[in-house]
């Protein structure tokens, strides 16, 4: 069974840092591109970042470019999102998602999300 389990969320002050993790199981993690998507309270889905299966390619939304870093450790089956210079508008539930491996590029599995609260 495919499972994605996020962790690392919590309360952080504006300007602070946080590292999110997404532990994957039930599939060959190193074969799949992975993504982070966030959802502010009461709002829609916002795409954040992507990383290729081998970690060689990454992408960031303009809203987080230069402040967030996506990475992965295929030996640990874990995806990361290092978040820095956090702002109030970064407060959201952060989901990791697996990109389908067939070439269609939709997200076939999602984690349950981890909440990041940015407040003083």
d(CA 26, CA 17): 30
In 3D space, the residue among 3, 14, 19 whose CA is nearest the CA of residue 90 turns out to be 14
- List the one residue from 21, 30, 53, 59 that touches another protein (CB under 8 A): 59
If the CB atoms of residues 60 and 77 are measured against another protein, the closer one turns out to be 60
Minimum CB distance to another protein smaller for 14 or for 110: 110
CB 115 to another protein: min, Å? 11
Under rule CB under 8 A, which residues in 89-108 are in contact with another protein? Answer: 95, 100, 103-108
**12-51 mask for another protein (x: CB under 8 A)?**
-----------------------x-x------xxxx--x-
* Out of 61, 71, 101, 115, the residue judged to bind another protein by CB under 8 A: 61
* CB crowding 45-65: b at 16 or more within 10 Å, else e: eebbbbbebebeeeebeeebe
What residues make contact with another protein under the rule CB under 8 A?
35, 37, 44-47, 50, 59, 61, 95, 100, 103-113
């Amino acid at each position: 069974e495919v499972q994605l389990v996020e962790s690392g969320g919590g309360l952080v002050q504006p300007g602070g840092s946080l590292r999110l993790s997404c532990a994957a199981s039930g599939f060959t993690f190193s074969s799949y591109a992975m993504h982070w998507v966030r959802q502010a309270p009461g709002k829609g889905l916002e795409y954040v970042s992507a990383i290729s299966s081998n970690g060689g390619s990454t992408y960031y939304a303009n809203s987080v470019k230069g402040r967030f870093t996506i990475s992965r450790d295929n030996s640990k089956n874990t995806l990361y999102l290092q978040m820095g210079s956090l702002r109030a508008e970064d407060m959201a539930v952060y989901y990791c998602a697996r990109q389908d491996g067939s070439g269609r590029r939709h997200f076939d599995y999602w984690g349950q999300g981890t909440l990041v609260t940015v407040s003083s």
